[in-house]
Amino acid sequence: MQKIKHQRQRRQFLHDTFTGLSGIALASLMQRDGLVANEFTEGKPLIDAARPFASRQPHHHAAAENVLVIFCSGACSQIDTFDYKPELIRRHGQAMPGADQLLTFQGEQGMLTKSPWEFKPRGESGKMVSDLLPQLAELADEMCFLHALTSKTNTHGPGENFMSTGYTLDGFPSMGAWTTWALGTENENLPSYVAISDPRGTPQSSVNNWGPGFLPAAYQGTEFNATKPLRNLEIPEGISKQEDQATRQFLNQINQQHRDGFPGDTDLAARISSYELAARMQLSVPEVTDLSTETASTLRAYGADDSSNPLKAKFARNCILARRLLEKGVRFVQLFNGAYQTGGEGVSNWDGHKQIQDQYSKHGPVLDQPCAALLKDLRQRGMLEKTLVLWVTEFGRMPTFQKGASGRDHNPEGFTAWMAGAGVKAPFTYGATDEFSYKAAENVTTVYDLHATVLHLLGLNHKKLTYYHNGFERRLTDVHGHVIHDICKQAV
């Protein structure tokens, strides 16, 4: 009897072990495929493969419906724009205390160097902003400044990746891809996510800034600008608009019949949907990029008619395009100021290593009037109430000049970004660097925190918005990030 009892116990143990492991494996597979809800999958969007860009509900109340990111590529110096340091003026030409042997990205540092541009109090808040950007300075009361941002890298490409995707490596989804995957768009005739490249070219990390990573390819940013619209959108010669429209209708009927024949094939539905979007874009993109309907006063306000500065005029047209896209309901617009040019620094971006005063004096006016006009235009049209504007760069600059040069080296230890519009307090300042603007010292903030806050204002919980990839539930903020509630108008 004892032997039989032991045999039964052993069989029961083997049975329980087998069924338990099977259950774990089954649960894992179901979780991976999104068939069970848990702390990872409950925040994922439910997407109709036939309408992957349809507008979707957020996790909680959203303060913002659209996002505009103004990305100054090349690491714009916080010391010469928005981060006022009187001590740097007082100690101009002296060695930075405790940094006599300091080596940064390009080598040994020289003396502390004040900004060539004077800082003045602006608006009712009295916020100190430099004369490099006088028209943006006038709007300081509209802005929420983050003065204690930090990065994980001092190299441009990885730095751009980190700001745009939350990772220094290539191949991860951009902030815009995460946003449009989660929320879709309000206008299914236009791309849900547009990257407006600088008139001179792309930033150093190029398409990684707006790539989909491991998210479905449909959610990558579509790149075009006011002077270089999307290619192959014109109707071929010899085909009338009526013939083109009739062809579209016929193709829609065939596609619908094919889709109905395979109701469970989500890949087929998504592929047909992407072709249908491309067809709709043939009509909608030329309309939104046609700035001939803008008034002369609008073109003048942005500087788009400035014949004395053609680069500024081209960037101004990009700013007008950004407003028109947001006005049409595009969810996420990424506007780049500065481009990477192989073989020389020039004045292509904000990478001011050698002659910062000469370079920034050329580059500042290109950014200043067009971006200031864009903010004013959004406000006057009532669009700032629903649009979150984010001004960023990949990292900051040193308070010293490089030894033997008249420019500032890379500095990921402390730099500035600002936000405006939907959901953020303004005028408001959060965080501070030390007395020289070298290191973040008060309310130190990471890029993860910035991303978590942007998602929060869009009504998304950054911890719940995940995507299963290579054995991990990935998210924009990796395993980091905290919402900066202090800068939000209302807690959610």
Indicate the residue type of 18. Answer: F
20 and 73 part of one domain: no
- Residue 51 within a domain: no
85 and 32 part of one domain: no
Please give the tally of structural domains in the chain: 2
Which of 192, 197, 166 minimizes the C-alpha distance to 179? 192
Asked whether 433 and 444 are in contact (CB, 8 A), the reply is: no
- Residue 253 within a domain: no
The predicted pLDDT at position 344 comes to: 46
The predicted pLDDT at position 235 comes to: 59
- Residue 208 within a domain: yes
- Residue 46 within a domain: no
Q: How many CB atoms lie within 10 A of CB 176?
A: 27
Q: How far apart are CA 484 and CA 414, in angstroms?
A: 17
* Pairing status of strand 415-421 against strand 127-130: unpaired
13 and 116 part of one domain: no
Compute CA distances 78 → 13, 396, 403, whole Å. Answer: 66, 6, 20
200 and 332 part of one domain: yes
Q: What is the pTM of this model?
A: 0.86
DSSP string, 336-393: EE----TT--TTSSS--SSBHHHHHHHHHHHHHHHHHHHHHHHHHTT-TTTEEEEEE-
- Cα dihedral 369/157/161/224 (nearest 10): 50
- H/E element, 115: none
- Residue 155 within a domain: yes
The predicted pLDDT at position 40 comes to: 32
Asked whether 187 and 330 are in contact (CB, 8 A), the reply is: yes
- Residue 255 within a domain: no
Asked whether 208 and 352 are in contact (CB, 8 A), the reply is: no
188 and 283 part of one domain: yes
- Residue 283 within a domain: yes
18 and 109 part of one domain: no
469 forms beta bridges with 472
- H/E element, 409: none
30 and 101 part of one domain: no
- Residue 478 within a domain: yes
In order along its 492 residues, the chain shows pLDDT tens digits of 555 445 555 556 555 545 554 544 444 444 444 443 333 347 899 988 778 899 999 999 999 999 999 999 999 999 999 999 999 999 999 999 987 778 888 788 999 999 999 999 999 999 999 999 999 999 999 999 999 999 999 999 999 999 999 999 999 999 999 999 999 999 988 999 999 999 999 999 999 999 999 999 889 999 999 988 765 555 566 676 676 666 666 666 676 666 667 666 556 555 656 666 666 666 778 889 999 999 999 999 999 999 999 999 999 999 999 999 999 999 999 999 999 865 444 458 999 988 999 999 999 999 999 999 999 999 999 999 999 999 999 999 999 999 989 999 999 999 999 999 999 999 999 999 999 999 999 999 999 999 999 999 999 999 999 999 999 999 999 999 999 999 999 755
Structural domain that includes position 282: 66-234+266-487
- H/E element, 28: helix 2-32
CATH number, domain of 336, equals 3.40.720.10
437 and 357 part of one domain: yes
The predicted pLDDT at position 262 comes to: 66
116 and 17 part of one domain: no
352 and 275 part of one domain: yes
125 and 3 part of one domain: no
74 and 30 part of one domain: no
